[in-house]
Amino acid sequence: MDSNRKLNSYIWRVALLPFGGLFILLILLYSNREQAQQSWTRIKPIATENLGRDEALLTPTEQQVRTQEIRTLETGLNNLQLLLILGGLIELGLMAYAVWAIASGVNQRVEEVAQEITQSSTDIATTMSQQERIANDQAASVNQTTTTMDELGASSRQSAQQAETAAADARNALGLTEGGSKAVERTLADMSALKAKVGEIAEQILRLSEQTSQIRNISGLVSDLATQTNMLALNAAVEAVRAGEHGKGFAVVASEIRKLADQSQKSTEKINGLVSDIQSAINSTVIVTDEGSKTVQASLKIAKETAEAFEGVTEAINNITLSTQQISLSAKQQAIAIQQVVEAMNSLNKVANQTAQGISQVKTGTDRLNSVAQNLKQIV
């Protein structure tokens, strides 16, 4: 509205300019005419007085010439006055024409400017409409991206928590595997000790087997001695019978020796039976000990393999723990970075909204400018 009022005021000033110039020229012409009239009024008495004073000295011909000169002077002054008036009118006409030309040029230029303003405002309005749509689309995209980044931030935080939980579980598993490794190490130590003890038992059983063999040999010797003693006792009894009364005492002794030999033979047989049983038990024990030694050896091998497996599991869990810790740290850093991106996107969304508002204001201004240009066309 203010621009319309200013434009109307300017147009009226341009339109009134020729009339103002004409009025000023009329004042100037009237002032020149008054000055010429006053000059003639002052000159005429002086000339008449001079002519009257010198008239007695002049001849009639000279007086006639003087009178003619005065009339010529008067006619010249009148003509000068007319020329001044005509010159003023011509100048006024030229000025009016110049003012009209200027006004026409101004009107044409104003019309051209109005046309250019209209075209420019239309182009600007079209561009601003496109920019407004782009800004709105950008704001919508930024808003959607911000929402997505918020969701991604929540997911990253959840991933960080899960990674921390996995790291804690991995640390617990690492503790368990370390405990298992220690248990396996203790088992290995116990199995090694058991192997050593089984070896010692096997050695003792071997020594016992050797001793039983010696006992068997001794028992064989005793059995042989008992057999020989029995044979000697039998021979002594035969000789005692031959001796008659003199050999009765010797027969009794031989009988007792024979009984002792029989008892020794029976004891030897029992000892041999016991030695055989002991040897069988020793042989069974040797077999069982050998099998136990093999079992201990296999168990020791399995325990070593288990220890190696526990070492591999411990190393793997340790690597998993380090990886989960790195994942947790990366997830935390990612969450922080995503939060920064979300803040930046929020700022960008704010700027996009402000840009859209500014474009809307510019569009409103171009609409007003277009309206002013249309009003200017109507005025022109």
The domain segmentation of the chain, as residue ranges, is 2-122
Residues 6+ apart with CB under 8 A from 216: 272, 275, 276, 279
- Please report the pLDDT score of residue 9 as a whole number: 59
pLDDT attached to residue 177? 72
CA atoms lying within 13 Å on the CB side of residue 221: 5
pLDDT (0 to 100) of residue 111: 65
Which runs of E-coded beta strand occur in the chain?
none
User: Given this model, what pLDDT does residue 11 score?
Assistant: 52
DSSP letters spanning 58-118: S-HHHHHHHHHHHHHHHHHHHHHHHHHHHHHHHHHHHHHHHHHHHHHHHHHHHHHHHHHHH
pLDDT for residue 326: 79
Q: Which residues of the chain carry a pLDDT beneath 50?
A: 7, 46, 51, 53-54
The Cα 94–Cα 22 span in angstroms is 10
Query: What pTM did the predictor assign?
Result: 0.41
> For the chain, how many helices (H) and strands (E)?
3, 0
Cβ(99)–Cβ(18) below 8 Å: yes
Q: Which token pair is 160?
A: 């960080």
Report yes or no: 193 and 315 within 8 Å, Cβ to Cβ: no
**Gap between the Cα atoms of 115 and 121, Å rounded:** 10
**pLDDT, tens digit (0-9, with 9 covering 90-100), for 58-93:** 566 766 766 676 666 566 556 555 655 665 566 556
pLDDT score, position 85: 61
> Do 251 and 237 contact (CB within 8 A), yes or no?
yes
8 A C-beta contact, residue 204 and residue 222: no
Q: What is the pLDDT of residue 91?
A: 59
